[in-house]
């Protein structure tokens, strides 16, 4: 008879301590947010023009940058730009964009999304930014003087 998995074993597989899902979970959450935004835009598309609402994709970019940092925010920016190109701009359900004005709009959207994700990550004190010392040599010099 096989032993039943205890709470520690289940926490390893499914919980926050999971070493398997920990590096992948921000990416999964980011693509889930893009998918949710896409579903909402496709539902609203019958009432309004979805091309004009493509900037709604900035919302998941901002949320992901606030919670997971600028790297996931930039990744979400590129995923959102691909989703906007595929679902919002004519011809729909194709990555080919027929109008050069729409190509420029998508380029500006991507630029704005990357800038927004970097800015939001810095404003919410991204861990990688705050962990790095401002003047690393001064800290090294002070530690050296204290030990001597």
pLDDT digits (tens, 9 = 90+) for 68-110: 888 898 999 999 999 999 988 888 889 998 899 999 999 999 9
Answer with the residue of higher pLDDT: 124 or 95: 95
pLDDT at 18: 62
Question: 7 pLDDT exceeds 60?
Answer: no
Answer with the residue of higher pLDDT: 9 or 51: 51
pLDDT at 127: 55
Outline where the chain has alpha helix (H): 7-14, 25-44, 58-68, 70-87, 100-123, 127-131, 136-147
Q: What is the DSSP letter of 4?
A: P
Summarised one tens digit per residue, pLDDT across range 19-74 is 666 777 888 999 999 999 999 988 888 888 767 788 899 999 999 988 888 889 89
The Cα 55–Cα 52 span in angstroms is 7
**What is the band of 1 on the pLDDT scale with cuts at 50, 70, 90?**
low
pLDDT at 35: 95
> Cα–Cα distances in Å, from 103 out to 25, 84, 117, 124, 133?
31, 11, 21, 31, 41
pLDDT at 120: 86
Question: 130 pLDDT exceeds 60?
Answer: no
Say what the pTM is.
0.69
């Amino acid at each position: 008879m096989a032993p039943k998995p205890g709470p520690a074993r289940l926490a390893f597989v499914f919980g926050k301590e999971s070493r398997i899902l920990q590096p992948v979970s921000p990416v999964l959450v980011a693509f889930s947010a893009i998918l949710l935004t896409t579903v909402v835009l496709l539902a609203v598309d019958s009432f309004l023009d979805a091309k004009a609402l493509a900037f709604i994709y900035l919302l998941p970019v901002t949320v992901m940058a606030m919670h997971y940092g600028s790297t996931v925010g930039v990744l979400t920016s590129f995923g959102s730009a691909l989703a906007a190109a595929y679902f919002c701009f004519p011809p729909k359900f194709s990555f080919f964009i027929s109008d050069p004005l729409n190509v420029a709009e998508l380029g500006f959207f991507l630029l704005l999304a990357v800038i927004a994700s970097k800015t939001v990550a810095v404003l919410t004190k991204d861990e990688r930014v705050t962990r790095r010392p401002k003047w690393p040599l001064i800290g090294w010099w002070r530690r050296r003087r204290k030990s001597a």
